Amino acid sequence: MQARRVYDAVIIGSGAAGGMAAKELTERGHTVLVLEAGPPVNPQRDFSSHKWPYEAMYRGFGPPGWKQNEQWMQDTAGDFSRHFYIKDTEHPYTTDPGKPFLWVRARIVGGKTLHWGRLSWRLSDLDFKAASHDGFDVDWPISYGEIEPYYDRAEEFIGVSGNNDGLWYQPDGKFLPPMKLTCGEQLLRRGAEKLGRAAITSRVAMLTGVKAHHQRYGRALCHYCGHCGDGCDVGAMFSSVSSTLPVAAATGKMTLRPNSVVRHIIIDTNTAKAKGVAYVDRLTHREYEAFGKVVIVAASTLESTRLLLNSRSRQHPTGLGNSSGVLGHYLVDHFGGINGFGVFPTLGDRESVNEDGKAAGLFIPRFQNLDDKTRHPKFLRGYGFECSSGQRMFPGVARGIDGFGSEFKQQVRRRYLTPVFTTVRASMLSRFDNFVEIDPGGVVDAWGIPVLKVHIQHSDNEREMAKDAAGATEEILRAAGAEMISAGGQITAPGRIIHELGTARMGDDPKKSVLNKYNQVWDCPNVFVTDGAAFVNSANQNPTLTILALTMRACEYMSAEMKRGNL
């Protein structure tokens, strides 16, 4: 009988957290098995960043009947990237009536790093120690000083372009040269600064300079094609496929198995520790087991929590890591939906240049509740604005212009580079009563695995923040000299921004948290959760850079503990 292989680590997921875990552990000499629930990916075949709009099937509307048959996330996936996303008919989940949650999922090697927004912001102690600032909930068990070295390493490895702007609440980092602002973005920056609000170049994980380690794995400079969401076939934007997984593969210590849907973590009945995972082949439905000294759960926030909840055993009767009773709780998402639009007439008839296609813009960082002077009377925490001016390849401004024929075309060309857009990214308070559970009605997915039921609503804090953001949007656009201004909108349903976080939070007290400060499950020390599930709060910045830094830190600790014989 062939002896079963025991890896140093079994990693569940190949996205931001899973890919980084594979890189960090294999570089330290450990063998890893990476299980990805979706198919493999070939950038030359599956990425479409250089296709023209006119090549879209049925002018981008998709083949007849797809919307009814497959329920794709049409508002998220473009015509060229639908295959990155799951089919909701195969992956159901449930919600309470009138309390929607939009769960956007990508089951494919590389996960959501294939099409993520690339915005790479550090959190500060305004975020890590938010409870100390305003008294709500609890602080993270780590400070900015503890994670700062891992932010440095993450930025230098993935390649983040940006400026050092000297804002204590939006820490500086190790950046490649920034992408230059367009004319409209410079006008918008001046408008924000007139109101005393900082406005800075967006920090994005896109190469504006190529270092030796980027070049070694075939990554090239960004050439401003503007279609990052369709997959970057030159590797200019960071993804697991272009960066972490190739590094891990080059060590010879990584085994990557796509199409592997993990059912649950297997518990050793003698030690109550994890000894591996049970999984099913996505295509054949055959059942398998894989074994490791450590299990790293990095399947994305809610999939990771679903897996822990489904890993019930005699030793862990309410789910793995749930002795505190908080597993699944404190679910948050950022909210958007409060938008601004205007035009800068002075930019009419300007010739476009290649740099107008850059997929980066202007960011107005949080300016509320920074200190006593900026404390808002109606809400806690804060929001920022993601802004851009100009157009991409497809002139979306044309939809708002009346006319027909040659006159219409002239107006579209004249206004092509005049629009300015803003959208809010705002924090959501972490509350115990926003949670997920295994669906009590017995709903299962296409592989017979119990699914989640999601319970989540916005609070008055988010609604007051949205009102304030709508007013601030209009103020900034007017101060910038924009015309044809519209501002406002409706707060997005939870999940729509695809930044779901929490549900397996870290903490100092095992009675009030799932993980310790190293992303290690209190109840099962050879299991680590390194994705967004570990977050204590959402802040208002995009979370991926923090996920990468936390994963690096966890793997450093994990490797040291394995070498000491503690895992």
The pLDDT tens digits for 238-291 are: 999 999 999 999 999 999 999 999 999 999 999 999 999 999 999 999 999 999
Structural domain includes residue 222: no
Structural domain includes residue 329: yes
d(CA 212, CA 494): 41
User: 563: Cβ–Cβ under 8 A, 6 or more apart, which residues?
Assistant: none
pLDDT of residue 80: 65
Which residues does the chain have with pLDDT short of 50?
Answer: 1, 68-76
* H helices present in 297-445, as ranges: 301-310, 405-415
Q: Is 486 helix (H, G, I), strand (E, B) or coil?
A: strand
485 and 520 housed in the same domain = no
Structural domain includes residue 66: yes
Domain count, the chain: 2
DSSP string computed for 3-39:
PPPEEEEEEE--SHHHHHHHHHHHHTT--EEEE-SS-
146 and 21 housed in the same domain = yes
pLDDT of residue 438: 98
User: 467: Cβ–Cβ under 8 A, 6 or more apart, which residues?
Assistant: none
Structural domain includes residue 408: yes
User: 294: Cβ–Cβ under 8 A, 6 or more apart, which residues?
Assistant: 8, 9, 10, 274, 526, 527, 528, 558, 562, 567
393 and 514 housed in the same domain = no
Exposed, middle or buried, 98 (CB in 10 Å: 0-12/13-18/19+)? exposed
pLDDT of residue 280: 98
pLDDT of residue 394: 65
The answer to whether 111 touches 240, Cβ cutoff 8 Å, is: yes
Residue where a domain terminates, one of 475, 493, 511: 493
d(CA 56, CA 302): 32
Q: Which two tokens stand for residue 478?
A: 């007017």
* Domain extent for 360: 166-202+335-426+457-493
365 and 489 housed in the same domain = yes
Beta bridge partners of 389: 420
Structural domain includes residue 225: no
Residue 279 DSSP symbol = E
Residue where a domain terminates, one of 493, 515, 545: 493
510 and 485 housed in the same domain = no
555 and 416 housed in the same domain = no
368 and 465 housed in the same domain = yes
176 and 310 housed in the same domain = no
305 and 375 housed in the same domain = no
d(CA 6, CA 31): 9
Structural domain includes residue 472: yes
CB hemisphere CA count around 135 (13 angstroms): 1
* H helices present in 228-299, as ranges: 244-250
d(CA 72, CA 358): 27
304 and 445 housed in the same domain = yes
287 and 395 housed in the same domain = no
The answer to whether 138 touches 326, Cβ cutoff 8 Å, is: no
- Of the candidates 398, 386, 395, 392, the residue with the CA atom closest to the CA atom of residue 356: 392
Residue where a domain terminates, one of 448, 466, 493: 493
179 and 285 housed in the same domain = no
Give the DSSP H/E element, type plus range, for residue 364: strand 362-364
Structural domain includes residue 557: yes
Q: What is the CATH number of the domain that holds 322?
A: 3.50.50.60
